[in-house]
Amino acid sequence: MTDKMTLIVVKKTGHVLGVVTRESDPEGKLEPKDVAGEKLLVRFAGSAFSAAQFFVPSDELAVEVKDFDPVVVTRPREFYLNADKQVTGTTGTTTITPQSNTQIRVAVAAVAAKTPAWIQVLSKNDPTDTQVRQGEIDVGQKQVDLDVLPLSSGDVYHVFALVGGRDQIVQDVTAP
Amino acid sequence: MSDPVARPVFFEGQILGALDLQDTVEYSRGRDARHSRYLHTWGIATGLELSQKEKEVDVNGTPVKYQEIWLSPGMAIDGRGREIIVSEARRLSEALFDELNVAVQEKPGEEHLYPVLLMGRDRSAPPSTFTISDCANPEPTRQLEDYEITFRGPGEDLGLENQTPPDVSAGADTSNGQPWLILLGYVKWNNTITKFKGFENKSGSTGRRYAGVLADEVAARGGRLLLRTRIKNQSDKPALVLDETDGGELKFGLFNAEGTLVPVLTVKANGDIITPGMVQSKASSGTVYVQSGIASDGVVLPLPAGVKPEDVTGKGTLHVQVSMRLEDLAPPASPAGDWAPVPIECSVDADRRVRCQVRWVQIAAAPNFVDRPGVCNYVLLVGIPATGG
């Protein structure tokens, strides 16, 4: 069995969205499109599985080969790559609050270093209505307001949020 | 139609004129030019490198830095077969650049590159002071094979590959008055202080052109033929060697610090191919390629090395087997209790995308379950049918 695993990560935050191992040529170079296609399917866990499924564009992704870890392979979405590209468990919660129909606030506990934030917004009514936005939470701050293309007031949107080192989260919001 | 090449011949008692002697010289010059033109490609032969020296100029009491750009001595062969020799280092003239008026307005953040060009130019030496009679007009007895450096506007170096070569029998002289231009590099210009800001050897994919060799056959005398990318054996630079060791072998590799070639690919005379690296090739007919491993929900299964997506969508046949991976599964952390995993989906769609989910059912509790993305073991085979089979 190979002692390597290939992680599919979000370039902006390092969050692991998928994993694959290869017995043949386990460390051979792969491009995100080789393992994600044009978009990577990310179905969010919950008692209503598939209620929110995201397709993350492959140009938002990177692949990294790491030493095999059975825990990471089994539960990849509980890990991220830190600044030193070490596989590290995520911890801490993120909250998502729409500020207006063109701005979504992503909040965590105050950060000690500039921290990347990445969201994908998906209309519950129209699966083709999706957008990716990203930004940074500044040192000492708890939040960042990300500008989004206008959301339809009253509509429900799934928001998939990743903040550096924090747990992955999907939250439904209603556009103001 | 060009004239035949004329070789001067002489006979006893012939009265020699200046033209006869001149033709003798021109015959050799023309032969050398044709050799350079048709057995070599034009460009820089040696040296002629740009370098810079930082300087400072006072502008309204404020010191402003600029760069003096220098051209090192060297030699080039132009497309007419003419040798151009720069015998000593020469500073590029800011006054000439300014006078040529090639500079264009730069927007903030923009930095244009201006081609620096070399061309051969004959120039008469001072007339001889010695004549056979006081009545004769003194005339030059030497022609100096000199050169000029000029500049062009940004992008005006793109046509240099398409300069018109002379007729096949012609010598090296620029009969039509058009100089043959050789690119030496690019300068950057500060229009405010009319000084150079620096230089570059390349602009995009265009850069200095070096002289080469035209040959349909290259032969060694000592049983070893070496092809390398630098003038000397240089550490970490690649080379190709064809030699007669063990009946003949071809080696490709990099030079080490001692100047010895460390091969990464060796082809032996008996057909053996030796490489410490990996051999990748286009999927060959009549072969089955295999890949296996573990993949999580949502991932597109990777194809075996050497197999491209078009191989699968074309003649190839894809076989996939997936099974839920139950090892190392961890139940939901909350609520606490005993949980049992139940596979509810484990398949691969037409895009080779894994769809795998597991339902965790809490035992001895009111109906309670949590669905989680799963992980599967996979085996993927790609069969490429034999040609005609």
Cα angle for residues B196, B92, B125 (degrees, 5° grid): 165
Element (H, E) at B104: none
pLDDT, residue A149, reads 94
Contact A20 B301 (CB under 8 A): yes
Question: What share of chain B in percent tops pLDDT 90?
Answer: 47
**pLDDT score for A4:** 93
Token digits for A101? 């129909």
With bands split at pLDDT 50, 70 and 90, how would you rate the model's confidence at B132?
low
Taking only the tens place, the pLDDT of each residue in B32-83 is 999 999 999 999 999 999 999 999 888 888 889 999 999 999 999 999 899 9
Q: Is the pLDDT of residue A51 over 80?
A: no
| Res. B105: pLDDT tops 90 | no
Q: What mean pLDDT do residues B338-356 have?
A: 92
Backbone angles phi and psi of B278, in degrees to 5: -110, 140
Say which of A2, A28, A42 has its CB closest to residue B305: A28
Q: Is B58 on the interface with A (CB under 8 A)?
A: no
Which pLDDT belongs to residue A49?
Answer: 43
- What's residue B176's pLDDT? 65
ipTM: 0.93
Single-letter residue type at B269: A
* Six token digits for residue B69: 């750009």
**In percent, how much of chain B has pLDDT > 70?**
93
pLDDT for A78: 93
Task: Write out pLDDT tens, residues A86-127.
Answer: 999 999 999 999 999 999 999 999 999 999 999 999 999 888
Q: For B236-266, what is each residue's pLDDT tens digit?
A: 999 999 999 888 999 999 999 888 899 999 9
Considering Cα of B246, then B250, then B253, then B254, what sign does the dihedral take? positive
Q: Lowest mean pLDDT of A65-74, B64-73, B102-111, name the range.
A: B102-111
**Interface touch B297/A24, C-beta < 8 Å:** no
The mean pLDDT value of chain A amounts to: 92
Closest residue in A to B369 (Cα–Cα): A47
Higher pLDDT, B174 or A35: A35
pLDDT confidence bin for B310, thresholds 50/70/90: confident
Distance CA A150, CA A129 (A): 11
B46-60, B122-136, B145-159, B248-262: least confidently modelled range: B122-136
CB distance A24–B305 less than 8 Å? yes
Measured CA to CA, the distance from residue A9 to residue A4 in angstroms comes to 16
Q: Which residue has the higher pLDDT, B365 or B315?
A: B315
The distance of B293 to chain A (nearest Cα, Å) reads 5
Pairwise CA distance, residues B304 & B288, whole Å: 10
Chain B nearest-CA distance from A144, in A, is 29
In the numeric block, which tokens belong to residue A140?
Answer: 């000492």
Strand, helix or coil at A78?
helix
Confidence of residue B276 (pLDDT cuts 50, 70, 90): confident
Instruction: Please report the DSSP string for A141-170 in residue order.
Output: --EEEEE-SPPPTT-EEEEEEEETTSPPEE
Report whether B166 contacts B80 (CB < 8 A): yes
